[in-house]
Chain A
Amino acid sequence: MRNIFIVLPLLLLSACTLHASFTPENGKLNDATVGVPYYDKINIFGGNVASLKDYYGNVKPVADITPVDSGLYIQHCNDNLYDNNCLQIRGTPTKSGVVKVQVSGIFNIATFQKSSEFDKIYTIIIKKPDGTS
């Protein structure tokens, strides 16, 4: 039985580095309109996304949104503060323009696995109420 645990990891090692994939894939989120409540969702696949902690242990969100005064904000899905694999963008845009959502982080690993980083930028175009950009 012990041999299984020696041979198994060797077989698995070639496929053990965790790689991220996302939905949506193309880096573009739904367009938004000033004054209209907005919702979209980003899913991160490939592994369990770790909480980001700085040197002092302060937790930082897995996603950043810029500019910060667009009226849009990021939340964990299902009100689960521990689940970093699913993020939702909500809010009511206050001005037109382009908003960027940067999703970056690292995976928690299990035995035989090797972690990797991911970094992806999404854009949201906020249109004026008349439909122009």
Chain B
Amino acid sequence: MPVYHLSTRINANVPPSYLLYDLSIYRMDSDRNKYLLVNVKQQPFQDNYETQRHMTANISEPLSTIYIMEVTLYRKTLLETICVSLVPFTHMYTLEEFANGKAWSAVKRENPCYFESTGIPKPVSQGGETKVIKISIPERPFIAKEYAIGSPRDPFEKKLIEYQINNRFNHIDFPEQISASVCGPAAFFYCLQKDRPDVYMQAAWELYRYGKTKIGELTISPSERCRHPSGLFYNSKGYKRISGLDWITLAGLRDSENTVLSFDTLDSPLAGMTMWQALTKWFEKAGYKKIFSNVGVTQAGIQGIRELNEYAKQGYKVVTLISDGLLGGSNSNLTVPTHWIVWDSPVTEDSKGYVHLKLYSWGKVFDQIKRNQGVSFFIPRFFGGLVFTPLK
């Protein structure tokens, strides 16, 4: 098994010898157990503001594995060493990027930063002097047109987003598209949230802070129109049509991939449609490995169910395309593909011949197949699926 030498880089305007850093590089599993690759305290920088190259233990993970880094900076003075990071700076990179010295961004504020302003004003006895220091804060990337910053129902208010992200990290709830036509992105982010809650959380924060993120090789960079959506985020009684977090992640991913239609309002049914090619690309770029597919515009039949059942029993991610009329509540009689779901069990048939399937859809995970329906109801509304290995 190989060992790697991992590093990152900061931006600063003081000599690197004035600074020290804490660095931890880790990943989490689906149960949020933390696996540390590097964990060092108060280390000196190299002359080019790069950290030292910290050696890992022998590890067998693929280079595409995503890790989170946390950096805390310290400023040395003659008398003391002062922590200058209010909270640790976090960012995610692949093991390959950490090992090849590429775990940093060309955009200054996407790296750990430390900047000092210096100057000696005249003392009051000499007439005094006011020094003006300009500190720029970039505009928040996501602002809803109907709910400006400061509005009591701003869906992108920071504390609210933080609360929502923490709930997702702890699996208290799941992506919920409600009134937005983004079932494909919802299926993707549900799998990511389940497999790598740390990556889900980091991606959501990076989208919130910078308006873009990179999950493995998957770059999500929604357009200006998506980041400034129009339309109502609440119904007439004040209940959510979509949460701010789900807009940032689900609409953000959908819009980022659209070349013609912007996803800039909740009522964008065409801009929200996801083909299986696109869905496959998202999973694979994020580090998932596709091992089987029987998805298509034609029904996959009983054989298609049997094939996917075998993978579901072994714990693989099974993402399937259905007609939403297959699910409870919907009374659509159409038998065309309209909805992506994620299986949480194999398909089963009870003693009465009724079909059951525990699945994720619309923010919930339970047996959502329409009650008291058999295989003959299931088959015309089932268009096969994609199978991926869980993301480690």
Contact = CB atoms under 8 A, between A and B. Distances in A.
A binds B: yes
Interface of A: 1-2, 4-5, 8-9, 12-13, 16, 44-57, 60, 80, 82-85, 104-115, 117
Contact of A13 (B180, B269, B364, B366): B269
B328 A48 contact: yes
Nearest to B234: A55
Nearest to B244: A55
Contacts of B178: 50, 106, 108-109, 115
A117 B236 contact: yes
Contact of A85 (B240, B267, B328, B338): B328
B131 interface: no
B52 interface: no
A13 B181 CA distance: 13
A56 B362 contact: no
B272 interface: yes
A114 B240 contact: no
Contacts of B330: 47-48, 110
Given A9-B270, A104-B237, A2 B362 contact: no
Contacts of A44: 329
Contacts of B269: 9, 13, 16, 109, 111-114
A110 B178 CA distance: 9
Among A46, A82, A85, A107, the most chain B Cβ lie within 10 Å of the Cβ of A82
Interface string B163-207: 110010000010011111101000000000000000000000000
Interface string B296-337: 110000000000000000000000000010011111001011
A112 B181 contact: yes
Contacts of A115: 178-179, 241
A48 B324 contact: yes
Interface string B353-366: 00000000111101
A52 B337 CA distance: 27
B243 interface: yes
Given A83-B328, A104-B237, A110 B364 contact: no
A9 B237 CA distance: 30
Nearest to B277: A2
Nearest to A62: B239
B327 to A, nearest CB: 6
Contacts of A57: 163-164, 167, 173, 240, 243
Contact of A60 (B183, B239, B275, B364): B239
21 contacts: A8-B336, A9-B269, A9-B273, A12-B336, A16-B269, A46-B331, A48-B330, A50-B362, A52-B237, A52-B239, A53-B240, A56-B163, A83-B328, A106-B239, A108-B178, A109-B178, A109-B179, A110-B183, A112-B273, A113-B338, A117-B235
A5 B183 CA distance: 15
B1 to A, nearest CB: 44
Contact of A48 (B181, B274, B327, B334): B327
A109 B117 CA distance: 53
A48 to B, nearest CB: 3
A114 B364 CA distance: 20
Given A82-B366, A104-B237, A110 B339 contact: yes
Contacts of B164: 57
A52 B363 CA distance: 12
A48 B275 CA distance: 23
Given A4-B297, A56-B163, A110 B329 contact: no
B160 interface: yes
Given A8-B336, A56-B160, A114-B267, A49 B238 contact: no
Given A50-B362, A57-B164, A112 B238 contact: no
Contacts of A8: 336
A9 B336 CA distance: 10
Contact of A110 (B296, B324, B331, B366): B324
Given A48-B330, A109-B177, A112-B338, 10 more contacts: A1-B297, A49-B329, A51-B363, A56-B160, A105-B239, A111-B181, A111-B183, A111-B272, A111-B337, A111-B338
Contacts of A107: 179
B366 A54 contact: no
Contacts of B173: 57
A45 B370 CA distance: 13
B275 A108 contact: no
B140 interface: no
Contacts of B275: 2, 5
